[in-house]
Amino acid sequence: MQKLYIADDNLEFAKYLASVAEAEGWCVELCANGRVLIEQLQVADGPALLLVDMNMPDVDGIEAIEGLADIDLPLRVRFMTGAMETALIAAKLIAEARSITVGRSIYKPVPLDTFRKILREEANALQLSN
């Protein structure tokens, strides 16, 4: 079963994504911010997809990437935003500089069919990296 971590302070949106992902066969962990995401990944094992919101309190998407650099797991990241693209570009550059694989960004609100397609793409990519 593929592992998905959703880091988003919008609990309603995160639960929506989780319910879709679980119906597609993913095991999902919800994280209220980047700090919780990093803490959960420090004790995790195996490959995972991370959906990371750019704008969160405490530890945002860019700060979360800094904390993921020392985690030795096959991770794939998709950044999510409902706002400007500038932070997404910066986050992608930082992640790639730390050898973290980054997929195309997700813009909120994400249509159901689009999200299902992303999950299928990422499931295939995680299997190939494993």
Residue 9 counted as domain residue: yes
Residue 129 counted as domain residue: no
Enclosing domain of residue 115? 3-124
Residue 84 counted as domain residue: yes
Q: What CATH number has the domain bearing residue 96?
A: 3.40.50.2300
Q: How many independent structural domains does the chain possess? A: 1
Could you list the mean pLDDT of each consecutive 10-residue stretch along the chain, which spans 130 residues? 95 97 97 96 95 92 89 94 82 90 92 97 86
Residue 36 counted as domain residue: yes
Question: Dihedral (C-alpha) 24, 65, 89, 113: value to the nearest 10 degrees?
Answer: 10
Residue 18 counted as domain residue: yes
* Predicted pLDDT at 69: 84
Residue 116 counted as domain residue: yes
* Predicted pLDDT at 130: 64
Residue 130 counted as domain residue: no
* Predicted pLDDT at 82: 84
The amino acid sitting at 10 is N
Separation CA 28–CA 22 (nearest Å): 7
The owner of tokens 């880091």 is: 7
* Predicted pLDDT at 124: 94
Residue 73 counted as domain residue: yes
Among residues 38, 3, 15, 9, the alpha carbon closest in space to that of 129 is found at 3
